[in-house]
Amino acid sequence: EPEVTQTPSHQVTQMGQEVILRCVPISNHLYFYWYRQILGQKVEFLVSFYNNEISEKSEIFDDQFSVERPDGSNFTLKIRSTKLEDSAMYFCASSVGPEMSNQPQHFGDGTRLSIL
Amino acid sequence: KQEVTQIPAALSVPEGENLVLNCSFTDSAIYNLQWFRQDPGKGLTSLLLIQSSQREQTSGRLNASLDKSSGRSTLYIAASQPGDSATYLCAVYTSGTYKYIFGTGTRLKVLA
């Protein structure tokens, strides 16, 4: 069964550094998403992306964050200047779309980001 | 604004018991609801997806029901096993949005 793949599985970065998290969505999917989960807390939506544009973003997704689909297969989340509070598990998801109601979002295994 | 609540927050049961996990949501205008399993430090494994037009879905020992009008879903696990120990998350996809809203989860421990 096709999967969403995320790399790396664990990223350790110094505070203030830029970090790029990578995702390869399922090949025929058109909608892409990023979520994060701070340790011990609930999974929170960050951003959704369709047709090379952000469809929706949360309050968490401020100017330090950006997303890009640089080629036909990758979907990336960039954090420009990392803070300690950015430490979390980041999940990428994709779905077929645009008919949303009967198609689930498929989630990757996540990238654990640790900011020192 | 959609809010998703799961009770209980934690549950410990002896092996073999049937159990029910609850999820409630405040906005009944949803596309679908999904139940996930999450092992410690791991990713999200989709268990069951219920469309807004459906009442229930079954997969093996799992059965999920949806009462959209009252904003509730339940996940029923039959004949629980130690391998079922994990956190179970409910996520709601609200109409007119592009995101799932997750509950805080129920942490299940099944004792051998």
Interface of B with A in 65-94 (CB under 8 A): 89, 91, 93
pLDDT surpasses 90 at B82: yes
Q: For A56, which of B51, B97, B104 is closest by C-beta distance? A: B97
Q: Phi, psi at residue A100, to the nearest 5°?
A: -85, -25
Interface of B with A in 1-60 (CB under 8 A): 31-32, 34, 36, 41-44, 46, 49, 51-52
Q: List chain A residues with CB under 8 Å of B96.
A: none
Angstrom distance (rounded) from CA A18 to CA A79: 6
Q: What is the pLDDT of residues A14-23, one digit of tens each?
A: 999 999 999 9
- What mean pLDDT, rounded, does chain A reach? 92
Q: What is the pLDDT of residues A28-62, one digit of tens each?
A: 899 999 999 999 899 999 999 998 999 999 999 99
Nearest-neighbour CA in chain B from A15: distance (Å): 22
Q: List chain A residues with CB under 8 Å of B99.
A: 33, 45, 48, 56, 58
pLDDT band at residue B97 using 50, 70 and 90 as cut-offs = confident
Strands (E), A1-116: 5-7, 10-13, 19-24, 31-37, 43-50, 53-57, 65-68, 75-79, 88-95, 106-107, 111-115
Q: For A101, which of B36, B43, B51 is closest by C-beta distance? A: B51
